[in-house]
Amino acid sequence: MRGSFFFCIFAGMQNFIKSPEDLVTSREQTRAGFVGFALEKNRRSTPIIESAKSLKTLALRATTAKELLNISEIQSALLSAAGLSDKALNYFTVEDKKEAVQSLIDNFLEPAGEYFIDELVYRYLLIKGDSLGGSMRNLVGILAQQRLIRTLLSNLTVSNIDYKWCGENKKWQKRPENDFGIEERLKALSWKDRILYFNKNIPIVKNNVDICLFDTEGRVLMLGELKGGIDPAGADEHWKTGNTALDRIRESFAKEGLKIDTSFVAAAIEKKMADEIFAQLSKGTLSCAANLTVEGQLVNYCDWLLKL
């Protein structure tokens, strides 16, 4: 059955994946990925929509566009509608801000006549929406990491393996009785004599690596690439980028006379890249791979990690 197999090279043994097709993301999985991302985007847009509603209600106190300057509660929103991001505001003086808002009023709000409030709200939503779009591009990788973490935590629970976890505060914490939602905060995970980091700088590679497994003495055991994008159009580019990174990792360790396990996990895997991944797995160049959208593969990948 499609997607029910999983390939790993473990202790020199090749298991489960019978053909490259088992790694390919199906049309159904692609559609489900797009739907899931759209739902998350809608969920994250809720605060922006609600703030726009508040802006409109407060702005109704003004009878002309110029009177908006007298409503202290919306001055920050006026700056946003003028096209200034929070980051950009760090470089603006008080006078610069006044000039930006005045330009908004003169060039866009007053020409809208009696509909100046609607024009204000539309421009506010436009700028905030653009900012959300930028953050959503980063969210693809974050959601992929959270999915991997949640599966790994589930494997630990099922196997009755105790663990500790570390968040933004860099303090190790015991396994909670209820681990709901910790994948959104977790940056590192420790079990038995293993430590798993995400997005950690590896000095020998001179770059950040998505998935990093160490022993308790600090020796690197495995480094992996994680690609969460679901769009088939970008799949090949993700593989090229990930494969180049993995080649660099192996070469860096080889120069030090060291051998290291490497892995590749991705949501969008097309036929051509599946052939290349399968070939690397067959040769032992790549130690392990999984399709992020296939639950069985992800579970087995996490099981492989726990056994390294």
Quote the CA–CA distance of 233 and 223 in Å, as a whole number. Answer: 26
Quote the CA–CA distance of 302 and 290 in Å, as a whole number. Answer: 10
Tens digits of residue pLDDT in 71-92: 999 999 999 999 988 788 888 9
Residue with more model confidence, 3 or 291? 291
pLDDT of residue 90: 84
CATH topology of domain 42-134: Recoverin; domain 1 (1.10.238)
Which of these, 45, 3, 9, 1, lies nearest to 282 by C-alpha position? Answer: 9
For residues 247, 148, 138 and 92, what is the CA-based torsion angle, rounded to 10 degrees?
-110
Average pLDDT for residues 259-275, to the nearest whole number?
Answer: 96
Quote the CA–CA distance of 269 and 98 in Å, as a whole number. Answer: 50
Quote the CA–CA distance of 54 and 121 in Å, as a whole number. Answer: 10
pLDDT of residue 12: 37
CB–CB of 160/175 below 8 Å?
A: no
Quote the CA–CA distance of 291 and 40 in Å, as a whole number. Answer: 21
pLDDT of 4 above 60: no
Region(s) of the chain under CATH 1.10.238.90 = 42-134
Quote the CA–CA distance of 84 and 118 in Å, as a whole number. Answer: 19
pLDDT of 6 above 60: no
Quote the CA–CA distance of 213 and 48 in Å, as a whole number. Answer: 38
Quote the CA–CA distance of 308 and 305 in Å, as a whole number. Answer: 5
pLDDT of 171 above 70: yes
Tens digits of residue pLDDT in 20-45: 999 999 999 999 999 988 888 888 88
pLDDT of 237 above 60: yes
Mean pLDDT of the chain: 90
**Residue 217 carries which DSSP code?**
T
Average pLDDT for residues 138-163, to the nearest whole number?
Answer: 93
pLDDT of 173 above 80: yes
Longest dimension (CA), the chain: 76
pLDDT band at residue 19 using 50, 70 and 90 as cut-offs? confident
pLDDT of 7 above 60: no
Joined together, the tokens standing for residue 144 give 């992929």
Which of these, 193, 187, 199, lies nearest to 162 by C-alpha position? Answer: 193
pLDDT of residue 134: 66
pLDDT of residue 15: 57
Q: Where are the alpha helices (DSSP H) in the chain?
A: 27-59, 75-81, 86-89, 94-104, 116-158, 235-255, 271-283, 295-307
Average pLDDT for residues 202-209, to the nearest whole number?
Answer: 95
pLDDT of 139 above 80: yes
- Would strands 220-227 and 194-202 be described as parallel, antiparallel, or unpaired? unpaired
How many Å is the Cα radius of gyration of the chain?
25
pLDDT band at residue 16 using 50, 70 and 90 as cut-offs? low
- Would strands 207-215 and 220-227 be described as parallel, antiparallel, or unpaired? antiparallel
Region(s) of the chain under CATH 3.40.91.10 = 21-39+139-307
pLDDT band at residue 2 using 50, 70 and 90 as cut-offs? very low
Residue with more model confidence, 133 or 56? 56
The CATH code belonging to domain 21-39+139-307 is: 3.40.91.10
Average pLDDT for residues 241-251, to the nearest whole number?
Answer: 97
pLDDT of residue 9: 39
